[in-house]
A and B are shown apart, each in its own frame.
Chain A
């Protein structure tokens, strides 16, 4: 009996999960690394030959790839770093000063946008930004000129959509972080005559800087992999003007049948993600 509880045997329950992770997660990642160095195509006679770094060389020379990298940076910066992060922090901060009903209403709406399935959120923002949509109706009512947002500023429209959908996460993180700041510290500063903005800058922000770090990291990571939202709103278009890396990857691998090339792009995305992951783990100084 006790022999069963010692040694390797007691680690047996971990086997099913490990098997799944190896087969369906580590497997595809390994396969990804292999395919990225071949010229595999979905159709046609050409098999899969090892082509070394060709796919990567080709990517860095490809205008469309560079466009996708640029758009991914813009999308991530506007929607995750500026949008979700700053708006989430502002909402969490304002909620501490606001009255209870206002806090409840705002919180509920922001969280509902977050809990809705990705595709539903995408359709809602799609109708909002269309030429015949609500945004232009509002602008018209204010006697401001409207435009075809999904055509003129597609990357801005999808960025806004991602802010609408993802801000709740930051709001929850920052609400928790702000609640942990001891009240007497802010009160002491208030007594010393520090103004609102100065209190925020010198006390609040330094005290929640670790939350800011982890939140930025997680927002960035989740934004890097957004596909459904952009796909449903713009399909990466018009042209390639909202084609971020995941959409570009899908386009190359499936619509253009260049599996090897698409996978190389995926591998680059995975590498960037891993880099962020590692920084995140270090930043958190995880205690396991």
Chain B
């Protein structure tokens, strides 16, 4: 008994130390955002103020980039989820000698460093006039998430028993009707997880819009955040922190929503079972 108590104390101590190390940068974010004289250090503000938030809550700084992010990532997420659901259906339901190689290719693609192909993607987009367009960037973003979404969706779909569809088929429903009316409603939580996960990934994506979108008024928040640097020589750190909080809030909230539903390891889906 005494030995386990000592072990528990040691474990608690080590974890709290690590927790502190992880907390310090986050503490800067929270404290600087409400400090009128924020600098680079973590410090308790002499007086708490909402000025930083007031200053960034303008069309130009916050609303337009956030709206761009929403349109870009929302559109891409919708496209990803629809395509993934459609693709996962035959992969989950029908046997064919192409199914397995297709899935292996998909899984292989999820592991590729997408960063590496951004230079050719840029070149290609210039040639086909997709550069600096929201829909072009959205199409690429959707595709980049597609392999993992198909994989995740297929694993969720495998959990829905086929018996229920057979009943619908005998009633004369087509494949797509069965998918929409029987399978997807039964895997509601799975679809939600794929949707939210895809959206979180895209919301935080920096490199793709950084490369493919050029006009400042189209930039999403992940790239527009750089305007806090440079323009006037000095950085207003309090405002940078306030903006970072506003920009991060949606994904933090969404993450809480899915992690409650499926436990911490959800993101690993079927892809990472050791």
Contact = CB atoms under 8 A, between A and B. Distances in A.
A221 B11 CA distance: 31
B61 to A, nearest CB: 15
A21 interface: yes
B25 interface: yes
B206 A5 contact: no
B41 to A, nearest CB: 5
Contact of A221 (B86, B111, B139, B240): B111
A12 B176 CA distance: 10
A24 B139 contact: yes
Contacts of B26: 109, 112-113, 124
Interface in B85-142: 86-87, 89-91, 94, 96, 98-100, 102-104, 107-109, 111-124, 139-140, 142
Contacts of B265: 172-173, 175-176
Interface string A122-151: 011101101011100110000000000000
Interface size range of chain A in the complex: 35 or more
B237 interface: yes
Given A175-B264, A211-B274, A20 B146 contact: yes
Interface string B233-274: 000010010001001100110010001000011011000111
A179 to B, nearest CB: 9
B167 interface: no
B15 interface: yes
Nearest to B139: A24
A94 B267 contact: no
Contacts of A116: 204, 248, 251-252
B144 interface: yes
A286 to B, nearest CB: 6
B40 A106 contact: no
B64 interface: no
B24 A134 contact: yes
Contacts of A91: 15, 18
Nearest to B98: A11
A274 to B, nearest CB: 7
B114 A225 contact: yes
B251 A28 contact: no
B13 to A, nearest CB: 9
Interface in A176-220: 176-177, 196, 208, 210-215, 217-218
Contacts, number: 288
A246 interface: yes
A2 B274 CA distance: 40
A134 B172 contact: no
Nearest to A48: B123
Nearest to A222: B113
A16 B117 contact: no
Contacts of B172: 1
B174 interface: yes
Nearest to A283: B274
Interface of B: 7-8, 10-12, 14-16, 18-19, 21-26, 28-29, 32, 39-42, 79, 82-84, 86-87, 89-91, 94, 96, 98-100, 102-104, 107-109, 111-124, 139-140, 142-144, 146-147, 150, 169, 172, 174-176, 179, 200, 203-207, 210, 222, 225-226, 237, 240, 244, 247-248, 251-252, 255, 259, 264-265, 267-268, 272-274
Interface of A: 1, 4-5, 10-14, 16-18, 20-21, 23-25, 27-29, 31-32, 35, 40, 87, 90-91, 94-95, 97-99, 102-103, 105-107, 109-113, 115-121, 123-125, 127-128, 130, 132-134, 137-138, 164, 169, 172-173, 175-177, 196, 208, 210-215, 217-218, 221, 224-228, 232, 246, 249-250, 253-254, 259, 262-263, 266-267, 269-270, 273-274, 276-278, 280-281, 284, 286, 288
Given A117-B247, A266-B120, 4 more contacts: A29-B120, A113-B26, A124-B28, A288-B104
